[in-house]
A and B are shown apart, each in its own frame.
Chain A
């Protein structure tokens, strides 16, 4: 019997939303406890700041340029390498409960396996793996899937439609009549994607994901080794947690985040010092990400709306913390506690008021790029608690799971097992993390790539709809933790900038060719 793995992901969660990372809005005692007895990473960086590429990186251990999911709406090939398949082949029982998003959700032709599994009401379907083996889809022998909405084809939506159809209308309707992401507002402030949702807490997707995870674990034999990816759809917008929980955080008491400049003139000056697409989006003149409501103009965002969004986000984070606590209690009740590794992270962050913006997009700053990441090794492994300051990436997760299972990392994996402390990080040369954004949607093309190294974050833009290829961003993370001073054109750091760019170009893998097709907007 080996070490078991509980891999917990959330969607679109900021680093500073956890108590262990200095957050003061959410109470997260369960995750904080894991951090106290495990390893807390202070500079965990996604390889993409949107869902599908980032989640594909977690599964494959590859950069987006290698696995090929270059933007949302591009499907990860069915036969892409998968750490879950490697673990299943090694005898692990494997499950994914919650949000997958390796394949598009919008799928009227029923072409994608995630949707077909849910439609068929079966735990998985056979697919062809990277080595030609035929096995459970992407290596998961059990998939129970959910997303942010009670609409659509996935298991949670079908369950709610069948068991509690009266609750569906209480959720925020994510898509409007034109199938665009809705810019409707609600709550007390009219903030976009906010709605008071009367759904019973037990029926909300956070508790559903925990319930279904516990149910799957209950079906395992005591001596099974297992890998369970528990994937919460929250705190991604829409912000419509159960109304019964709104009393946890009164939005009127929420301080404005440090990244939110209250003065409109200051906000606009900061945006004007960045490449053009920042200000263009703020003014509603350019939308480059389908998931940001196209009808919403960020310049209209008010301070009270920022407060209300942050309050609801904090409530959703608390519900996740409590749901995780229930799952850990179920694991303890099975007597597995000493042999379970828990890894907690998210796919990307959320701007949540930074620079007067919400949601996400081609903006490589801490709001989207600094992630919560905690690894609580199995107590039986006797790994000392630590804090790691060296940059690590989500590309390092798949090799970490292999290491926990006592397996060699797949030769296709591009990261390495997470360091257990800074000494380990130094010895194994965790020096840089790479992030890329590519999007071409409705005539708007944006391409940028970023290196995080030596306390700096450096982004270069390729030619696109509003960039000529000379633009960039360079921030000193120590002296400028809010990334307000763009030093791209500062001659005093020109040599550093050029060195970072050389490193970025050398380190980024070549883009997959031919490029995979865009199948859907998301």
Chain B
């Protein structure tokens, strides 16, 4: 049995500021409570939880234009997993971060959902206060190699098809 879980949080900072953290896969342990370490090599990320559980992940999408990050947790107990983080611009100085997980077994989606909600709260706390380990890491120029320059046009003309 699979399940699809979604959590979201409005954050009182602009989308580019939120994406600067969300789109940096090596910073996850600095804003996801209960993840104590995070290493990235190419498209592989390994996280370790506070209980000592290590999870190997594959980074699938890190799209600076759409501000979308997607990853897959590989290995048991998962038979299916897709995690998606989207950062939406709601207006000047305001953004919506949506964190979704599709997973089987369904129980794992529910468990991850609790962690995702806590992570969004911590992300909002750091971004809105301007303080916290993820903010410090950004300020220390620990920019992820995944990070490309921010989009130039904030409200581009919609692209209707690839060609």
Contact = CB atoms under 8 A, between A and B. Distances in A.
A109 B1 contact: no
A116 B51 CA distance: 9
25 contacts: A73-B110, A73-B114, A104-B114, A106-B111, A107-B111, A108-B53, A109-B35, A109-B51, A110-B50, A111-B50, A111-B114, A111-B115, A178-B1, A180-B107, A290-B107, A294-B1, A441-B110, A442-B106, A517-B117, A518-B114, A519-B111, A519-B113, A519-B117, A520-B110, A521-B110
A177 interface: yes
A201 B31 CA distance: 46
B107 A109 contact: no
Given A107-B111, A109-B50, A517-B117, 17 more contacts: A73-B110, A104-B114, A108-B34, A108-B111, A109-B51, A109-B115, A110-B49, A111-B114, A111-B115, A119-B51, A178-B104, A180-B105, A180-B107, A442-B3, A518-B113, A519-B117, A521-B107
Contact of B114 (A115, A290, A517): A517
Contacts of B35: 109
A109 B34 contact: yes
B36 to A, nearest CB: 9
Contacts of B107: 106, 178-180, 290, 521
A433 interface: no
A108 B49 contact: yes
Interface of A: 73, 104, 106-111, 115-116, 119, 153, 177-180, 290, 294, 441-442, 517-521
A153 B113 CA distance: 20
A111 B111 CA distance: 11
A111 B34 contact: yes
| Dominant secondary structure at the B interface | mixed
Interface string B25-55: 0000000111100000000000001110100
A520 B1 CA distance: 16
A109 to B, nearest CB: 2
A110 B113 contact: no
B108 interface: yes
A53 B3 CA distance: 24
A290 B105 CA distance: 13
Contacts of B113: 517-519
B117 A109 contact: no
B111 A520 contact: yes
A518 B115 CA distance: 10
B24 interface: no
Top-4 shortest CB links A-B: A109-B34, A519-B114, A110-B50, A178-B105
Interface size class of B (residues with CB under 8 A): 20 to 34
A111 B119 CA distance: 11
Contacts of B115: 109, 111
Nearest to A104: B114
Interface of B: 1, 3, 7, 32-35, 49-51, 53, 77, 104-108, 110-111, 113-115, 117-118
Contact of B77 (A104, A109, A115, A179): A179
Contacts of A104: 114
A108 B33 CA distance: 11
A287 to B, nearest CB: 10
A111 B118 contact: yes
A442 B105 CA distance: 12
Contacts of A518: 110, 113-114
A277 B114 CA distance: 27
A290 B108 CA distance: 13
A160 B7 CA distance: 38
Contacts of A290: 107
A150 to B, nearest CB: 17
Q: Which of B32, B49, B110 is most buried by chain A, counting CB atoms within 10 A of its CB? A: B110
Contacts of A521: 107, 110-111
A521 B114 CA distance: 10
Contacts of A177: 77
Nearest to A106: B111
A441 B114 CA distance: 13
B51 A110 contact: yes
A75 to B, nearest CB: 8
A521 B3 CA distance: 12
Nearest to A177: B77
A203 B104 CA distance: 35
Contacts of A441: 110
Q: Which of B7, B32, B33, B105 is most buried by chain A, counting CB atoms within 10 A of its CB? A: B105
Contacts of B110: 73, 441-442, 518, 520-521
Q: Which of B33, B53, B114, B118 is most buried by chain A, counting CB atoms within 10 A of its CB? A: B114
A104 B111 CA distance: 10
A517 B51 CA distance: 22
A67 B76 CA distance: 36
A115 B49 CA distance: 13
Contacts of A179: 77, 105, 107-108
Contact of B33 (A106, A111, A180, A517): A111
B150 to A, nearest CB: 31
A177 B104 CA distance: 11
A283 to B, nearest CB: 18
Contacts of A116: 50
Contacts of A517: 7, 113-114, 117
Contacts of B51: 107-110, 115, 119, 153
A390 to B, nearest CB: 40
Contacts of B108: 179
A145 to B, nearest CB: 15
